[in-house]
Amino acid sequence: MLLEKQLILFINIFHSSMRQCLADVFLEKGYNLTPEQFLVMDTLWDEGILTQQQIADITMRDKNSIVKLIDGLEARNLVKRVNNPKDKRQNLIKVTEYSKTVKDAVTAISYEAVQKIINGIPREELESFVRTIARMQKNIDKDSDLEELGRKYPTNPGGAI
């Protein structure tokens, strides 16, 4: 198989498998949460109250998909929309007290799932993989800079992924 075909096939298979693995682990541990919803929650836990547009910018998703994710999170009592006192056209998204109580457990679950996925792969290879994906994304979208995103929103080694 050509390398280019393998790249498309393998990334597609991996993406689907990783999403399913994370969703299964969350559900198995009692949390009805998708990986995308977790990323929104993780962003809010790290950054605090944000607008829907800020969440979209940080997670590099379109605003419509963020609205749907927020709807699901709000239905699960994890976030709450409040009017922005500075701009009535905007909603601010804030975490609920309940979400604060599950933060550590949910974060630990996601960390354990990713550890399972990357088991046996040397850190240098993972770092190279991340840099390569960032470069491929830059080739797709010149305005996209995943490495800068990683520097701007670094992960906490002891907490969120």
Cα 155 to chain centroid, rounded? 11
Phi/psi for 24 (5° steps) reads -65, -45
Contact 25/109 with Cβ under 8 angstroms?
yes
- Per residue in 11-49, pLDDT (tens digit) is 999 999 999 999 999 999 999 999 999 999 999 999 999
Which pLDDT belongs to residue 153? 64
Give residue 155's pLDDT band: very low, low, confident or very high (50, 70, 90): low
With beta carbons less than 8 A apart as the criterion, state whether 117 and 67 touch: no
Element (H, E) at 90: strand 87-95
- Per-residue pLDDT of 73-130, as tens digits, reads 999 999 999 998 888 888 999 999 999 999 999 999 999 999 999 999 999 999 999 9
Taking the model in full, what pTM does it have? Answer: 0.83
- Tens of pLDDT, residue by residue over 52-80, are 999 999 998 998 999 999 999 999 999 99
